[in-house]
């Protein structure tokens, strides 16, 4: 029996050395270690070996089984490595320096609108600031004069976190920090992503983009607000636009307004974009409330200022004639192709 074990060991090594594929390796494993394999047969027949030699033969047979398994696994690894090297060697050669004719991507509509606005405001002396997406209750509400009993603080409108912070519901949340950082005079815009617990439809999303702006200095008036907004919108739509202010209530401004623009698509004649109303509601704005200035460390007796909140998502919809807000967050490249954005 010991001679047979030694002979099997020699045979296995020779066969494993000649293996050309993983299937060959599996065949050898079955031949020697399968249910009816030669090594297994030796172990099954140990009862027929003399009692004095049975332990020694059993140990040698088990050792041989372990060696065969190890040799086969090692050979399989070698075959996999060689297969990988051959695949690389025979792979199609690509010259990365050659120009390609394939279609290239484009920026997202909201990104394009945001960059246009940043460039326009920068040319008018505004700085571009960043705001946090996770904010404190104080910055998001109290610092912009939203009282504790205001419905915007309810769970159904705001995404609250377990630590008491929240996902900012408006870019106004950055106002206080920016005022404390720079003081007055101040001209700044701060674009960002906002979150509200909204029911989704063609004109509402739970994730949307805004751009807050404010100008604070001595003798700033509503006339300055109208001038800046009219200049901005004329640049965006590449044509002269008319604007109007309607009274509106917002806790952080006093007086507060809704800023409308005459429909740039029909020039006020009436169309589906303006719902035949000639005017399109664009953004809330107004003169910064004295309480907000005080909380930002600015004396309202000495300085005044205006603030506005532009909906970047809405502007992108108007600029590219998109009739469903959800398309902007769809991650579907067909949306960009339909808009023919370059």
**Are 59 and 117 within one domain?**
no
Residues 170 and 85 in one domain: no
Residue 69 lies in a domain: yes
CATH of the domain at 154: 3.30.930.10
- Check pLDDT > 70 for residue 273: no
Q: What is residue 289's predicted lDDT score, i.e. its pLDDT?
A: 94
Q: Which residues pair with 143 in a beta bridge?
A: none
β-pairing verdict for 253-262 and 279-288:
antiparallel
By residue range, what is the domain housing residue 57?
A: 2-89
Q: Does pLDDT of 19 surpass 90?
A: no
Q: Kindly tell me if the per-residue pLDDT of 77 is higher than 80.
A: yes
Q: 309 and 219, same structural domain?
A: yes
In a domain, 134, yes or no: yes
Is the pLDDT at 68 greater than 60, yes or no? yes
- The whole-number average pLDDT for the span 191-199 is 87
Distance CA 255, CA 285 (A): 9
Same-domain pairing of 12 and 53: yes
CA 60 to chain CA mean position, Å: 61
Specify if 158 maps to a domain: yes
Residues 6+ apart with CB under 8 A from 333: 105
31-43 residues labelled b (16+ CB within 10 A) or e (exposed): bbbeeebbbeebe
Residue 275 tokens, joined: 């719902």
Q: Are residues 298 and 267 in the same domain?
A: yes
Q: Are residues 242 and 290 in the same domain?
A: yes
CA-based diameter of the chain, in Å? 113
Domain end point (choices 57, 89, 121): 89
The predicted pLDDT at position 323 comes to 74
Distances (CA, A) of 33 to 72, 76, 147: 11, 16, 79
167 shares its domain with 207: yes
Residue 242: pLDDT band (50, 70, 90) is confident
Q: Are 186 and 179 in contact (CB under 8 A)?
A: yes
| Chosen domain end from 58, 89, 120 | 89
Chain-centroid distance of CA 320 in Å reads 22
pLDDT confidence of residue 292: 94
Helix ranges (DSSP H) in the chain? 2-17, 22-33, 38-44, 51-89, 109-123, 137-140, 175-182, 222-237, 290-295, 312-319, 333-339
Where does the pLDDT of residue 163 fall: very low under 50, low under 70, confident under 90, or very high at 90 and above?
very high
The mean pLDDT value for 143-166 works out to 81
Verify that 63 and 115 share a domain, yes or no: no
d(CA 275, CA 336): 25
> Does 253 fall in a domain?
yes
- Sequence-distant (6+) residues with CB within 8 A of 148 are 141, 142
Name the domain count of the chain.
Answer: 2
User: Could you tell me if residue 98 is inside a domain?
Assistant: no
Residue bearing tokens 């590449």: 238
Same domain, 157 and 251: yes
249: in domain = yes
121 shares its domain with 85: no
- Token code pair at residue 66: 């372990």
Residue range 227-231: mean pLDDT, rounded = 87
**Residue 331 · residue 235 · CB < 8 Å:** no
Q: Which of 56, 89, 122 is the last residue of a domain?
A: 89
**Residue 301 domain-assigned (yes or no):** yes
Q: 43 and 116: one domain?
A: no
Mean pLDDT highest for which of 45-49, 125-129, 318-322, 337-341? 125-129
Q: Around Cβ 337, how many Cβ atoms within 10 Å? A: 11
* Residue written as token pair 């469903």: 324
Question: What pLDDT, in 10s, does the model give residues 84-141?
Answer: 888 888 888 777 787 776 666 678 888 888 999 999 999 989 999 988 999 998 999 9
Average pLDDT of the segment spanning 263-277: 74
Residue 61 lies in a domain: yes
Residues 78, 213 within the same domain: no
List all residues 6 or more positions away from 179 whose beta carbon is below 8 Å from its beta carbon: 186, 216, 293, 296, 297, 298
Q: Which among 143, 169, 144 has a CA at the least distance from the CA of 154?
A: 169
């Amino acid at each position: 029996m010991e001679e047979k074990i030694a002979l099997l060991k020699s045979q296995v090594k020779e066969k494993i050395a000649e293996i050309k594929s993983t299937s060959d390796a599996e065949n050898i494993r079955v031949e020697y270690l399968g249910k009816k394999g030669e090594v297994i047969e030796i172990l099954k027949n140990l009862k027929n070996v003399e009692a004095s030699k049975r332990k020694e033969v059993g140990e040698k047979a088990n050792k041989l089984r372990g060696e065969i398994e190890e040799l086969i696994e090692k050979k399989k690894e070698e075959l996999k490595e060689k297969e990988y090297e051959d695949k690389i060697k025979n792979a199609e050669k690509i010259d990365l320096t050659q120009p390609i004719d394939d279609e290239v991507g484009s920026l997202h509509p909201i990104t394009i609108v945001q960059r246009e606005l940043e460039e326009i405001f920068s040319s008018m002396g505004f700085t571009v600031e960043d705001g946090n997406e996770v904010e404190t209750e104080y910055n998001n509400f109290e610092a912009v004069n939203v009282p504790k009993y205001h419905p915007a603080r309810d769970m159904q409108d705001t995404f609250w976190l377990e630590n008491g912070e929240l996902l900012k519901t408006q870019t106004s949340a950055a106002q206080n920090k920016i005022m404390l950082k720079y003081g007055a005079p101040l001209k700044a815009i701060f674009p960002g992503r906002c979150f509200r617990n909204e029911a989704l439809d063609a004109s509402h999303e739970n994730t949307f983009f805004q751009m807050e702006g404010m100008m604070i200095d001595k003798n700033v008036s509503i006339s300055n607000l109208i001038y800046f907004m009219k200049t901005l919108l004329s640049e965006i739509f590449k044509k002269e636009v008319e604007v109007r202010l309607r009274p509106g209530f917002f806790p952080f401004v006093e007086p507060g307004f809704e800023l409308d623009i005459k429909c740039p698509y029909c020039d006020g004649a009436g169309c589906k974009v303006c719902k035949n109303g000639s005017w399109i509601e664009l953004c809330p704005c107004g003169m910064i409330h004295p309480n907000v200035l005080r909380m930002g460390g600015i004396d309202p007796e000495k300085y005044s200022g205006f603030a506005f909140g532009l909906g970047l998502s809405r502007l992108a919809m108007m600029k590219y004639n998109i009739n469903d807000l959800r398309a902007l967050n769809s991650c579907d490249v067909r949306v960009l192709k339909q808009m023919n954005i370059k």
